[in-house]
A and B are shown apart, each in its own frame.
Chain A
Amino acid sequence: MTLLQGFGDQIVAGAITTLQVALTSLVLGIAVGLGGALAKVSGIGALRWLADSYTTIVRGIPELLIILILYFGGTVALTALLGRYVEVDAFAAGVFALTIVFGAYATEVFRAAFLAVPRSQIEAAHALALSKALTFRLVILPQMWRYALPGLGNLWLTLLKDTALISVVGLEDLMRKASVAAGATHDPLTFYLTAAALYLTFTSVSLAGLALLEQRAGRGVRISE
């Protein structure tokens, strides 16, 4: 008997796609979040207004709607732009949508982390004539990271599971593969339980990895024996 009634390969391929979408969105989303947080604390009115609008809008709309709007909106926009019908690639659309969503929440996580860095740590850098950019890189960012990690960990778990929403625009991810196999074999429970087990594996491994990262980021703060 072949694994999962012959759908084993399909499920594995879907799981890989899910991880690819999630990891790509994570990296891009962290960059967006850092940018958004810096815009919010920059003291430049226009930038702050832009970042405030972004987080207010994105955090106020269901993820599924954002994905649908960006997917169909992207198709319309590209079609208008290029003058012929273009169908947006589901992977690109998924990464784009999840980056936008993750970035909005990460903006708030990073903003809180930025504000949590003690003023005195920054003053010490200024007093030693370190430029603003160096102060950010050497002092603020590593300390922000420590404050941001628990919040980012939460967002990562949400992101990993939100990839399932991308299946509505046709991404061949774990969720969609499981659903197709469930329909084809009339054995939904097996495939949905398999998918659930895989998501749970990914999140559990993530949690272990996060614990390690937090330990590393907290060096010097908790006295190690």
Chain B
Amino acid sequence: MVKTNSDALQSMPDRNNTTAALQVVNLRKRFGQLEVIKGLSLTANQGDVISILGSSGSGKSTLLRCLNFLEPPNEGEIWIGGRQIQARAGATGQREINALRINLGMVFQTFNLWLHKTVLENIVEAPIHVLGLNKAEAHLRAEELLLKVGLADKRHAYPSQLSGGQQQRIAIARALAMEPEILLFDEPTSALDPELVGEVLKVIRALADESRTMLIVTHELNFARQVSNRIVFLHEGQIEEEGPPDAFFTNPSSPRVRQFLSSQRDGYHR
């Protein structure tokens, strides 16, 4: 159940924090007996670019997918711009979930562009049907975004005619077309050939420069270091360490983070 406004204000975790774009409080997610997110809390301020790192199975992707209810969380609260979603499985209405999703743009590891629709159709469907834009407005917005991701000449192509890097740039444009408060990137370059990673990172970097609020689950450590103002390291469904990138990469306090970083470096030198 979503609380009334007065209730919500009282229970807001940090009332003075007016710049918080996203607050996650005590989020829990179980798959059967297995608890994957164990009471995790996280705040993203306006313009924060937070990279979420961690070994596989640490709950990084599940965390992002819980935020927009692709995996309904079992417990916790999600606040977006002062609006609360009580995240209890079965207790959150579809209307609440969709209000949340409008504000959270999701970019998937495997792009997930609709295969039967052209690039332009992929971008305009949700703005037309969800936001109620008319066709002309939606197309104008789509064309601007295609210019931004450098793919205006591909507007009538089908996803299967594009490279992975191009598909991911279109997927980013599709998410941006909803003008979300926050962008969620779920390993946006993990499915790409190495030579295509750069073009996608360039687009994400440009978005960071516009001070958009972003949560990025990634394995690109150098990129995370350059583009984020905060690193969050997950271990077994909890935040093991968080801090500014320089401190995180040069002087992590957790032995697990040190082990993770050294194993990643070994990987590069193989």
Given contacts A124-B108, A130-B126, contact A223 B161 (CB under 8 A): yes
Q: Which residue of A124, A126, A142 contacts B116 across the interface (Cβ within 8 Å)? A: A142
Q: Which residue of B68, B159, B174 contacts A220 across the interface (Cβ within 8 Å)? A: B159
Residues of A within 8 A of B249 (CB): none
Say whether B70 contacts A123, CB under 8 Å: yes
Given contacts A130-B126, A138-B125, contact A143 B116 (CB under 8 A): yes
B262 within 8 A of A: no
Q: Which residue of B98, B104, B116, B126 contacts A221 across the interface (Cβ within 8 Å)? A: B116
Bound CA span A143–B115, Å: 8
Residues of A within 8 A of B70 (CB): 123, 126-127
B102 within 8 A of A: yes
Residues of B within 8 A of A223 (CB): 158, 160-161
Residues of B within 8 A of A158 (CB): none
Say whether A127 contacts B161, CB under 8 Å: no
A120 within 8 A of B: yes
A128 within 8 A of B: yes
Say whether A220 contacts B130, CB under 8 Å: no
Say whether A123 contacts B101, CB under 8 Å: no
Say whether A220 contacts B160, CB under 8 Å: yes
Residues of B within 8 A of A42 (CB): none
B94 within 8 A of A: yes
Bound CA span A183–B115, Å: 56
Say whether A124 contacts B113, CB under 8 Å: yes
Say whether A220 contacts B101, CB under 8 Å: no
Residues of B within 8 A of A124 (CB): 108, 112-114
Bound CA span A128–B180, Å: 10
Say whether B108 contacts A123, CB under 8 Å: yes
Report B84 CB to chain A, min CB distance, Å: 18
Say whether A126 contacts B101, CB under 8 Å: yes
Given contacts A121-B115, A223-B161, contact A128 B101 (CB under 8 A): yes
Task: Annotate A14-39 by CB proximity to B: 1 below 8 A, 0 otherwise.
Answer: 00000000000000000000000000
Bound CA span A219–B106, Å: 26
Bound CA span A223–B157, Å: 10
Bound CA span A128–B108, Å: 12
Report A58 CB to chain B, min CB distance, Å: 31
Residues of B within 8 A of A196 (CB): none
Residues of A within 8 A of B110 (CB): 120
Say whether B101 contacts A127, CB under 8 Å: yes
User: Which of B69, B118, B158, B174 gathers the greatest number of chain A CB atoms within 10 Å?
Assistant: B158
A111 within 8 A of B: no
B117 within 8 A of A: yes
Q: Which residue of B104, B114, B175 contacts A139 across the interface (Cβ within 8 Å)? A: B114
B178 within 8 A of A: yes
Cβ-closest chain B residue relative to A126: B70
Say whether B178 contacts A220, CB under 8 Å: no
Number of B residues near A (Cβ < 8 Å) is 30
Bound CA span A138–B130, Å: 12
Report A30 CB to chain B, min CB distance, Å: 19
Say whether A129 contacts B126, CB under 8 Å: yes
Bound CA span A138–B124, Å: 12
Task: Annotate B82-125 by CB proximity to A: 1 below 8 A, 0 otherwise.
Answer: 00000000000010001101101010101011111110000001
Residues of B within 8 A of A139 (CB): 114
A146 within 8 A of B: yes
Say whether A129 contacts B159, CB under 8 Å: no
| CB under 8 Å from chain B, chain A span 112-166 | 120-121, 123-132, 134, 138-139, 142-143, 146
Say whether B112 contacts A130, CB under 8 Å: no
Report B212 CB to chain A, min CB distance, Å: 17
Residues of B within 8 A of A127 (CB): 68, 70, 101, 104, 106, 108
Given contacts A121-B112, A124-B108, A220-B158, contact A129 B102 (CB under 8 A): yes
B129 within 8 A of A: yes
Q: Which residue of A128, A143, A222 contacts B130 across the interface (Cβ within 8 Å)? A: A128
Binding site for B on A (CB under 8 A): 120-121, 123-132, 134, 138-139, 142-143, 146, 219-223
Binding site for A on B (CB under 8 A): 68-70, 94, 98-99, 101-102, 104, 106, 108, 110, 112-118, 125-126, 129-130, 158-161, 174-175, 178
In the complex, the 8 A-B pairs of residues with the closest C-beta atoms, listed nearest first: A220-B158, A124-B112, A128-B126, A129-B101, A127-B106, A129-B98, A120-B112, A129-B102
Contacts A/B (CB < 8 Å), 10 sampled: A121-B115, A124-B114, A126-B101, A128-B178, A130-B126, A134-B130, A143-B114, A220-B118, A221-B160, A223-B160
